[in-house]
Amino acid sequence: MKFFVRTFCAALAVLCLNIGNAHASVVIGGTRVVFPAAQGEVTVRLTNQGKKPALMEAWIDTGDARSTPDSVHTPFLITPPLFRMDAGKDQSLRIVFVPGDTRLPTDRESLFWLNVLEIPPKPTGEAAHQNTLQFAIRSRLKLFYRPANLPGSSLKAPDKLRFAASTGDAGVVIDVTNPTPYYITISQLVLSVDGRDYTATTGMVAPRDHLVLKVKDLHQAAASGSPIRFTTINDFGGGNDHQTTLQ
C-alpha cells in the first residue's frame, strides 16, 4: 500500500505541472454518482480505451483532494479497490453503503468524492531503455448520497432557488439560497441589467444553504425583478436551463 501512496503523491505533483499533456486511457461512465439510499449499492462502469493495460485504484473521500486510500474513513466499500484493466476491457466498480458507526443526515443529501487512480504499466522492450515520463492520472467525481423519501425531486429543485443581489466594494454579488434537500451545481449564470447581459461566477450550493456569486464587470445596482438565466447539472451530468428573476 505504501508503494501506491508514494506513486499517487508523486503523480499528483507532476500532474499539477503537466496536466495539459496527460490523457486518461480509462474512461468513467458518467461525471457524477448518485447513490439512492434505498438501493444500498450502485455500480460505476469503467472502460479502458487505451492500447495498454492499466493498474487501477479506487476510494471515496469526504472532500480532501489530498486523500489517499489508507487515510480515508467513509461509510462506503468499493469492490474491487485495486485491479488490473486490460486494453479494450470493461470493469464495474461496486459501491456498497456500510453505515457502521456513521450516521448521515436523513433529511438532505450528503456529499462524498469518488477517486479513480490510473497507473500506467512500466515501459517494455526498447522503450524500457529510453528516457520516458509517465503519468498516473486521478479522476474525482462527486458522489451524492440521497436518503429515501426526500421531499420534491432533484430535477425540480433548481427552480426553487432564490436569488438576491447586493452591491459592495467588490461590485455586485448574487446570494443564491437553496431551500431544498438537494445539492445543486450552477454551471452558468447570466444576469440582465438594462438590457445588457453580465455573467457571474459559478459553483455548487449545498442543501438548505446559500452561495455567493460575483457578477463580472457589473458595478451598478441590480434592481429587483432583473432577469436571470442559469444552467444546472442534472443527475446524469447534462445541463438544464432555467429562468427566474432577482428578488
Tell me: do 105 and 163 sit in the same domain. Answer: no
Tell me: do 192 and 94 sit in the same domain. Answer: no
Asked whether residue 56 is domain-assigned, the answer is yes
Tell me: do 181 and 214 sit in the same domain. Answer: yes
Tell me: do 18 and 121 sit in the same domain. Answer: yes
User: Residue 160: phi, psi to the nearest 5?
Assistant: -95, 0
pLDDT in tens, the chain (247 residues): 444 444 444 444 434 434 434 568 999 999 999 999 999 999 999 999 999 999 999 999 999 999 999 999 999 999 999 999 999 999 999 999 998 878 899 999 999 999 999 998 776 656 555 656 567 899 999 999 999 999 999 999 999 999 999 998 878 999 999 999 999 999 999 999 999 999 999 999 999 999 999 999 998 889 999 999 999 999 999 999 999 999 9
Closest to 233 (Cα-Cα) out of 209, 211, 202, 208: 202
Asked whether residue 124 is domain-assigned, the answer is yes
Q: Which of 146, 169, 189 is the last residue of a domain?
A: 146
Tell me: do 138 and 161 sit in the same domain. Answer: no
Q: What's the rounded Cα separation, in Å, for the pair 61 and 145?
A: 13
Asked whether residue 202 is domain-assigned, the answer is yes
Q: Which of 121, 146, 171 is the last residue of a domain?
A: 146
Asked whether residue 185 is domain-assigned, the answer is yes
Asked whether residue 151 is domain-assigned, the answer is no
Tell me: do 94 and 174 sit in the same domain. Answer: no
| Structure-block grid coordinates of residue 38 | 434505498
Tell me: do 45 and 112 sit in the same domain. Answer: yes
Tell me: do 177 and 85 sit in the same domain. Answer: no
Asked whether residue 152 is domain-assigned, the answer is no
Structural domain of 17: 2-146
Q: For the chain, how many structural domains are there in total?
A: 2
Asked if residues 93 and 81 have their Cβ atoms less than 8 Å apart, the reply is no
Q: How far is CA 116 from the centre of its chain?
A: 12
Asked if residues 150 and 107 have their Cβ atoms less than 8 Å apart, the reply is yes
Angle at 67 between CA 37 and CA 14, to 5 degrees: 130
Looking up residue 13, the CATH number of its domain turns out to be: 2.60.40.10
